[in-house]
């Protein structure tokens, strides 16, 4: 029997975007199982959504993919990946600057966990401009989020943005 191919798609997902979903969907076609890991990012000091809110939104967004599940971690990604045999980290790349950063992270992850492999998927052209920070800023100013985030999450993001703006 062959080994199950597992991908880990990590991110802070604050909030999840259609660009993230594009990478997750494509990973689900390649791998037997995809674990979307909502990570705590120590460098991001004021997330819009709590970790529990982000996990809930990601779960709602990926429910249509039967081989995708959602988890969370507050450890280094390379340490988290040890929970799975032969897991592969899948990262989406929008631009050359993403590659520079993710390549450095790959080297650090390999130093911590030499067995860990990373696979890069280039973003679909229509999502190369899209990031969670762009969505947060647009939401804060009341801009239309259609085509940027899953439709079912727009009301949650708009509501949170109103509260966030007042804070």
d(CA 44, CA 25): 26
pLDDT per residue as tens, the chain (167 positions)? 568 999 999 999 999 999 999 999 999 999 999 999 999 876 667 899 999 999 999 999 999 999 999 999 999 999 999 999 889 999 999 887 788 889 999 999 999 999 999 999 999 999 988 999 999 999 999 999 999 999 999 999 999 998 876 66
Q: Known catalytic residues?
A: 20, 44, 94, 132
pLDDT at 96: 79
Structure tokens at 88: 């592969």
pLDDT at 84: 94
What is the DSSP secondary structure assignment for residue 165, as one 8-state letter?
H
Q: List the beta strands (DSSP E) in 45-156.
A: 68-73, 88-93, 117-122
CATH number for 6-128: choose from 1.10.260.40, 1.10.645.10, 3.40.50.620, 3.60.150.10: 3.40.50.620
Tell me how crowded residue 49 is: count the other CB atoms within 10 A of its CB. Answer: 22
**144: exposed, middle or buried (C-beta count within 10 Å: 0-12, 13-18, 19+)?**
exposed
pLDDT at 167: 60
pTM > 0.75: yes or no: yes
d(CA 29, CA 103): 24
Structure tokens at 96: 């050359």
pLDDT at 14: 95
d(CA 10, CA 13): 9
- Domain residue extents for the chain: 6-128
Q: CA 31: distance to chain centroid?
A: 16
d(CA 104, CA 92): 14
């Amino acid at each position: 029997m062959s080994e199950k191919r597992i991908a880990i798609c990590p991110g802070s997902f604050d909030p999840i975007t259609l660009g993230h979903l594009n990478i997750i969907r494509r990973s689900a076609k390649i791998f037997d199982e995809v674990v979307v890991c909502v990570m705590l990012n120590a460098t991001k000091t004021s997330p819009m959504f709590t970790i529990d809110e982000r996990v809930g939104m990601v779960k709602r967004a990926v429910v249509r993919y039967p081989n995708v599940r959602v988890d969370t971690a507050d450890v280094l990604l390379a340490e988290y990946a040890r929970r799975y045999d032969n897991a592969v980290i899948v990262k989406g790349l929008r631009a050359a600057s993403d590659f520079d950063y993710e390549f450095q992270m790959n080297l650090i992850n390999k130093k911590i966990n030499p067995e860990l492999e990373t696979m890069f998927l280039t973003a679909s052209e229509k999502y190369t401009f899209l990031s969670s920070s762009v969505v947060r800023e647009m939401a804060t100013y009341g801009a239309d989020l259609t085509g940027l985030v899953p439709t079912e999450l727009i009301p949650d993001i708009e509501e949170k943005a109103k509260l966030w703006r007042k804070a």
